[in-house]
Structure 1
Amino acid sequence: MTTRPRKALRAGGLAAVLLAAGTLAGCVFDAAAPPPAVTPTGAFDADYSEPVPRVPAPLRGTLVEPGSLQNPSLAAKIDNHEDARPQIGLERADLVFEELVEGGLTRYVAVWQSDVPELIGPVRSIRPMDPDIISPLGGIVAYSGGQEQFVDLMLRAPVYNAVHGEADTEETFYRIDGYDSPHDVVVKASELVSEHADLAPPAQQFAYSADVLSSTAAVDGEPTATLSLVFSDSRFPSWQWDEASVSFLRSQEGAPDLGSTGAQLSATNVVSLLVDEVYDYDEEVPRAVLVASGEGWASTGGKTVHLRWSKDDAASPIRLVDDAGATIRLAPGSTWIELVPRETRSVTVTAPVPAPVPGGDPAPEEPGDAGDLGDPVG
């Protein structure tokens, strides 16, 4: 039998073998030695706890810690006369309802709960539709009186009435310098709320999405540059979409509507509802019929979607659904509810102007495009 000679180990391989052998020879293994200690990782930290789920603020939809907003809401009748502007604290309201009153003017029912200012105003007298607006909220309503029949309606609502001139509000209401009477009555809002901390917080009034992009209008609506409303010849507010602030900016009678900080008033959501106006209490004072149903529009995230609204009774919130019957979801943030008289039928949605085509003429709009809708819709 022929035996093949072994190949000689290369110098490098031989050196590695010798080094390994030498290393093993120098090691002494102690079978009785304890294993090395193991340091726990951060995953086993005894201080670790699961994050607490957050809940929507009832009137704003923003996420807050459970139990952090236990104070009642404060609704106030806010003046919108030219001599009452800029209103104090209006930019911090969670909800603002705009309603037609006598003389073609409008007033607000503004509501604070998640962020109550130290001072709000100017406040004015109550109107016959205000109990239907405020009753679902509970809490407190602040106003400066009114016709006896309207005050009686408000006193029968399930809210605490804080009325200017009453004995229990002497320290809460006062007349402020810089405004002419009767547009000078203001309320110490945070003090009033703290005095009635035993009242329950409000129930959630609208459904909310997680963010602006997932709101119903942003998902299903038509692009909107401007929303124009007509209450009367004297009051025709408008809202312009502002991409930078992700909100609609408010104007009145063609001029920017400024708040007490000097900044233009804005809203995350603008809900425009067509309502019937009747004169069943006073031939000069209109009443928006709210225990009813009708059509409207929700504007959020630079888009607008058509909706149907309904309110079952005075204590029920206003329900908003789309044309398919699905609940409208607003975006977390402030909401203005415009109670536009059906008689004017004037809610005009204007789409953005198409950007010009580089190097050519602007692209023409096709008939039926969601551009400027022109005439009032509804």
Structure 2
Amino acid sequence: MRLRQAVVASAAAVLVAGLGAACSEPPPPGASDLVDPGTPAPKPSPTPSLPAGPLSGQPLAQPAVAGRQAIAVPIRATATGTPVGLDVADVVYQEFAESGSLHLSAVYQSRDAAKIGPVTEVRPVDIRSVGVLHPWLGYAGGPTGFVNQLAAADLTGVTPAERGAAFPSGYTSTTALRAAAPKGGTAPAPLFDYATPGTPLGTEGVTPAGKLTITAAGHATQTWSYDQASGQWVGQVGKAKVKAASVIVLTMEYRTLTVRKPSPRSLPSAMVYGKGKAVVVSGPSSARAAWSKPGQKLVCNVTDPAGYQIRPQPGTAWVIYAPTTARVAVT
């Protein structure tokens, strides 16, 4: 009985197999049996890498911005004034000027500022500092000799006398200055090797830092303090609170310049070309360093005691030209 049931079951299996074969075409010669794996799960797209601003080291929301020309604006800062537009600058150069004032050269490339100023005259320190960046300048004229130096350095810009609408009430904006600039300006080359996460400020001579003071004759002591929450160094210029990712103090000689046109006067002027000692604070660290800038068309190199480039945190870099007689202290 069991033998008969097995035979019947076997015959049924053969019949079913035969019916299945009859309902499908035989595979072509050489074909193999493949199983459809179904629709594969989509692979996650890699996060696009945004270019960094050449003067800020920070990722740009709009990649095209990386290739645009820099804008430079000289700003006068007095003890009772309130300069604006400094926090969004990529680089700010500071010269200790006459009557306790500061002459600032603010450079904008990665970000825009809706209001910048008060705009002041051009001075040799502007030419020496920003010349290597090939910017378009917005400035309020200046002594005849200084304006001639600007032209001789192949730097161009616009003044209120040429385009008053771009300087309402003595202030300007990056939008107004870009509208006045000719087409075809070139993007600046990077000034620093910016730090990546975990990169120290320097290979030697790095110490913790929370406060930086610069005391120069004829000027109020300038104090910068590190804010742990924002990772920024906070200072004050006139009545304005300013922030920077890094403060770079370059010690150098100052000379007195005598100008005659349009009015006779004497002005202090930082000798930006040459070399000297430097102090850098960035993040919660400080580093002793040295600086060297042979001429206008060359970048100012800031190196640690081992000769390697200082690597500041990405963001605004505030470069202070301190007279050799100034006292610079970090605690």
TM range (shorter): 0.7 to 0.9
Using the alignment, how far apart are the partners of 1:245 and 1:338 within structure 2? 22
Is 1:324 the counterpart of 2:309? The answer is: no
Report how far residue 235 of structure 1 moved: 3.1
Gaps of 5+ in 2: 1-8, 26-32, 260-264
Q: Which letter does structure 1 place at the counterpart of 2:151?
A: L
Is 1:186 the counterpart of 2:151? The answer is: no
Using the alignment, how far apart are the partners of 1:270 and 1:218 within structure 2? 18
Number of residue pairs matched? 302
Is 1:277 the counterpart of 2:263? The answer is: no
Using the alignment, how far apart are the partners of 1:241 and 1:26 within structure 2? 84
Q: Residue in 2 aligned with 1:245?
A: 230
Report how far residue 272 of structure 1 moved: 0.6
Deviation track 1:298-323 (CA, whole Å, cap 9, x = no partner) reads 11111100011000111111111111
2:255 and 2:271 in contact (8 A); partners too:
yes
Deviation track 1:264-308 (CA, whole Å, cap 9, x = no partner) reads 321111101101001244572111111100010111111100011
Aligned-residue Cα RMSD (Å) equals 2.6
CA 1:117/1:131 → structure 2, altered by over 3 Å: closer, same or farther? same
Report how far residue 103 of structure 1 moved: 2.1
Runs of 4+ with deviation above 3 angstroms: 25-36, 48-55, 64-68, 217-220, 280-283
Report how far residue 252 of structure 1 moved: 5.0
Is 1:130 the counterpart of 2:126? The answer is: yes
Using the alignment, how far apart are the partners of 2:237 and 2:89 within structure 1? 18
Using the alignment, how far apart are the partners of 1:108 and 1:225 within structure 2? 24
Q: Which letter does structure 1 place at the counterpart of 2:188?
A: P
Q: Residue in 2 aligned with 1:349?
A: 330
CA 1:53/1:252 → structure 2, altered by over 3 Å: closer, same or farther? closer
1:142 and 1:163 in contact (8 A); partners too:
yes
Using the alignment, how far apart are the partners of 2:194 and 2:296 within structure 1? 22
Using the alignment, how far apart are the partners of 2:266 and 2:100 within structure 1? 10
Q: Which has the higher contact order (CA 8 A, sep 6+)?
A: 2
Using the alignment, how far apart are the partners of 2:281 and 2:122 within structure 1? 28
* Percent pairwise identity: 24
Deviation track 1:186-244 (CA, whole Å, cap 9, x = no partner) reads 11321221442421111111111214x42415985211121000233323211101110
* Pairs within 5 Å for 1:118-267: 118-166=114-162, 169-175=163-169, 185-196=170-181, 197-211=183-197, 213-217=198-202, 221-252=206-237, 258=240, 264-267=241-244
1:77 and 1:123 in contact (8 A); partners too:
yes
Deviation track 1:72-105 (CA, whole Å, cap 9, x = no partner) reads 11111112113430x2211111111110112232
